[in-house]
């Protein structure tokens, strides 16, 4: 599955309402922090003077960029969704960062202005991957680097897989499949390489597969995080707005059944992509 076809309501790109706050509080420590540290370490090795982050979300990578890179390095962080940027700005960074609302497919930025473009788990949300990649290439200086990561298949990400399978029972006629369709739907290296080539990158991308662990004090935490802190919530409520709590409880029971009722520990896995202009 390519994962670049949005559903008719466009929920795959919506991070609105209480989702940004819940995402930042629960999803970031659950699955995003180890991959943010990895990306930032790769950015730092490039010794950039200007860095652009696209699909910055609530700023988990941005905060680490601000902590790790020298103060002389300028950081511009963008996201399509202003509520996510508002949450990121409210959390704050250790030094000034330029926050800008921007569509990755139409960046309001000049050509050849950045040494590194970085994106954490945002590529799979973009409807036109090649268009977004061409924009990343356009704003990169010659010799610059585009670094991004994407989740691997959902069966390699145990909590997401468990939640998705559990929600088939309460919604048998139309199960909410945001996690499988979009979050974990853009993971084939050959497809990613083809999209990069179509966007104008003429160098072969490098792929690394990183496995980590997702840990929580109870099964309720990942169930709540996925069901109420991601666009999966919008899919559940679109089917029946009165059943969000029920769906979360079903997901909790499924995670407890697979991982136990105490502290839980599940596998997560992602691909890191590095391509030079």
What is the structure's pLDDT at 21?
78
What is the structure's pLDDT at 28?
83
| Mean per-residue pLDDT of the chain | 92
What is the structure's pLDDT at 27?
86
CB 25 within 8 A of CB 59: no
Lowest mean pLDDT, pick from 18-22, 96-100, 153-157, 247-251: 18-22
Over residues 233-247, mean pLDDT: 95
Share of the chain above pLDDT 70, in %: 93
- In this predicted structure, the answer to whether residue 74 has a pLDDT above a threshold of 80 is yes
Lowest mean pLDDT, pick from 8-12, 133-137, 153-157: 8-12
Task: Report d(CA 251, CA 218) in Å as an integer.
Answer: 12
Q: Is 247 exposed, middle or buried (0-12, 13-18, 19+ CB in 10 A)?
A: buried
What is the structure's pLDDT at 18?
57
- How large is the greatest C-alpha to C-alpha distance in the chain, in angstroms? 55
Bridge-based pairing state of the strands 264-276 and 114-120: unpaired
Task: Report d(CA 237, CA 232) in Å as an integer.
Answer: 9
Look at the chain and count its residues: 277
Q: Tokens 């585009």 appear where? A: 146
CB 115 within 8 A of CB 50: yes
pLDDT digits (tens, 9 = 90+) for 38-49: 999 999 999 999
Task: Report d(CA 168, CA 179) in Å as an integer.
Answer: 13
- In this predicted structure, the answer to whether residue 12 has a pLDDT above a threshold of 50 is no
For the chain, list the domains and their CATH numbers. 11-276 (3.40.50.150)
């Amino acid at each position: 599955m390519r994962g670049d076809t949005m559903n008719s309501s466009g929920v795959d790109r919506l991070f609105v309402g209480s989702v940004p706050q819940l995402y930042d509080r629960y999803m970031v420590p659950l699955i995003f922090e180890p991959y943010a540290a990895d990306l930032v370490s790769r950015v730092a090795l490039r010794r950039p003077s200007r860095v652009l982050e696209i699909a910055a979300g609530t700023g988990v990578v941005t905060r680490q960029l601000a902590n790790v890179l020298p103060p002389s390095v300028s950081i511009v962080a963008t996201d399509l969704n202003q509520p996510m940027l508002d949450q990121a700005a409210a959390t704050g960074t250790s030094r000034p960062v330029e926050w800008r609302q921007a569509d990755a497919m139409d960046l309001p930025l000049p050509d050849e202005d950045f040494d590194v473009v970085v994106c954490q788990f945002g590529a799979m949300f973009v409807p036109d991957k090649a268009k977004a990649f061409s924009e990343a290439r356009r704003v990169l200086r010659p010799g610059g680097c585009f670094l991004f990561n994407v989740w691997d298949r959902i069966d390699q990400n145990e909590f997401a897989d468990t939640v998705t399978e559990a929600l088939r029972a309460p919604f048998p006629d139309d199960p909410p499949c945001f996690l499988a369709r979009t979050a974990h739907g853009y993971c084939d290296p050959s497809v990613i390489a083809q999209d990069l080539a179509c966007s104008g990158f003429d160098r072969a991308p490098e792929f690394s597969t990183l496995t980590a662990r997702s840990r929580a004090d109870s099964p309720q935490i990942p169930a709540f995080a996925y069901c109420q802190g991601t666009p999966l919530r919008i899919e559940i409520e679109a089917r029946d707005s009165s059943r969000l709590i029920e769906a979360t409880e079903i997901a909790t029971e499924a995670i407890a059944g697979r991982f136990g009722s105490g502290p839980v520990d599940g596998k997560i896995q992602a691909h890191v992509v590095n391509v030079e202009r």
